[in-house]
Amino acid sequence: MKPTFKHLATLGASIALASGSAVALADTIKVGVLHSLSGTMAISETTLKDTVLMMVEQQNAAGGLLGKQLEAVVVDPASDWPRFAELTRDLLERQEVDVIFGAWTSVSRKSVLPVIEELNGLMFYPVQYEGEESSKNIFYTGAAPNQQAIPAVDYLMDELGVERFVLAGTDYVYPRTTNRILESYLLARGVAPEDIMINYTPFSHSDWQTIVSDIRTFGSTGKKTAVVSTINGDANVPFYIELGNQGVSAEDIPVIAFSVGEEELSGFDTSPLVGHLAAWNYFMSAESNANDEFIESWWDFIGDEDRVTNDPMEATYIGFSMWAEAVEKAGTTDVDAVREAMYGIVVPNLTGGYAVMNTNHHLTKPVLIGEIQADGQFQTVWQTAGGVIGDAWTNFLPESAKIVADWSAPISCGNYNIETSVCSGQNYE
């Protein structure tokens, strides 16, 4: 049975979720929750922990799975990348969880990957990422580059007439790989090398005065300029504040972000940022009955109507819903059986359409671009006509264009070379 949105408070209150309860000590299905609750990424990941807990509570209120109740096992890797690997091993070996929902940054996912493959675990990863990966043990419910980064650049060029690009990111694998893809794509579209500026900063970077000044100078040549931001975590707050301090408006130099959503904007005055952009697959402002019900359920669960929803929350909801349906379909929580049952599952997304799980472990879902509003919400200004199939391996890097992922027979491989007909194994380099 799939989870329902309706929050059944009376029944839910009677179901013990705590690990020390009599229910938890009985035969339960254990759900690992691997999100940073402290450190630089807590600003983004804490909400995803709460989202999983809400989904667990709703599933239990609807009768659980396979006649069993679900038990959430929450750990805090504390934005420490090696700690993600350690806690993954603990969740699988000692806690014996049946599934893990977790990680945000690609470096944390890369830390988890060899452990979850070694122990044949199952993880749902709910955040946009750089692609160039398809593991049999991970389902990627966030956006691949062709579901976010490439459409965003197309929008800037085709709709806003942008000719110069600042690729600004946090210094780790997701921004560097995404920007390598974008640089190749921009050059292929005729952008001159001197019209591309690339800059990286550490996690939690706070002194943006010089960088924002450099962006202003780069954008003062007479060519329309935009910033494509893969800045992650709490560094976004001072970055946007400095943009406002230096009077960088969306009319002059628009910023389109891939890691800034409603949650990140909820912490400060967004009025100076009106008109700047973000590319996601969901916005809280989406008009659909499913979204209205999800928001109501979220407010009911969290007890605060000021709390926002965002894209990774929707990706978590989609992943959890698909996993629950696959478990019922397979009649077991066995990882191999659930993985096979996942292919082709369709669940409603929150923008009014449907998400489909493909055999490359990526979703089909729509792409939306939104403008920041004074209240911290986004107004959708562009979206795809339908769903876009996530591409695990980009067509815009020569070494990746010949690689496909397909975990169904006869290929059953995450990086199959269509030129040599050789599978080089699971990729976590």
Q: From first to last of its 429 residues, what are the pLDDT tens digits of the chain? A: 444 444 433 333 333 333 333 333 459 999 999 999 999 999 889 999 999 999 999 999 999 999 999 999 999 999 999 999 999 999 999 999 999 999 999 999 999 999 999 999 999 999 999 999 999 999 999 999 999 999 999 999 999 999 999 999 999 999 999 999 999 999 999 999 999 999 999 999 999 999 999 999 999 999 999 999 999 888 888 999 899 899 999 999 999 999 889 988 887 788 878 999 999 999 999 999 999 999 999 999 999 999 999 999 999 999 999 999 999 999 999 999 999 999 999 999 999 999 999 999 999 999 999 999 999 999 999 999 999 999 999 999 999 999 999 999 999 999 999 999 999 854 433
Nearest to 145 by CA among 103, 188, 171, 178: 178
Question: Is there a contact between 112 and 84 (Cβ–Cβ < 8 Å)?
Answer: yes
Question: Which amino acid type is present at position 45?
Answer: E
DSSP symbol at 396: S
The CATH architecture that domain 146-285+369-389 belongs to is 3-Layer(aba) Sandwich (3.40)
Burial class (CB in 10 A: 0-12, 13-18, 19+), 291: buried
Q: Take residue 34 and report the two structure tokens written for it.
A: 């691997």
Residue listed under structure tokens 């491989």: 413
How would you classify the pairing of strands 29-34 and 99-102?
parallel
Nearest to 126 by CA among 310, 251, 256, 293: 310
Q: Take residue 169 and report the two structure tokens written for it.
A: 């990111």
Region at 64 (left for phi over 0; alpha for psi -120 to 50; beta for the rest):
left
| Number of Cβ within a 10 Å radius of residue 237 | 16
DSSP-assigned beta bridge partners for residue 228 = 167, 256
DSSP symbol at 418: T
CA distance 261 to 283: 8
CA distance 104 to 170: 13
Q: Provide the CATH topology of domain 9-143+287-366.
A: Rossmann fold (3.40.50)
Q: What angle do CA 282, 427, 178 make, to 5 degrees?
A: 45
- In the chain, CATH 3.40.50.2300 sits at 9-143+287-366, 146-285+369-389
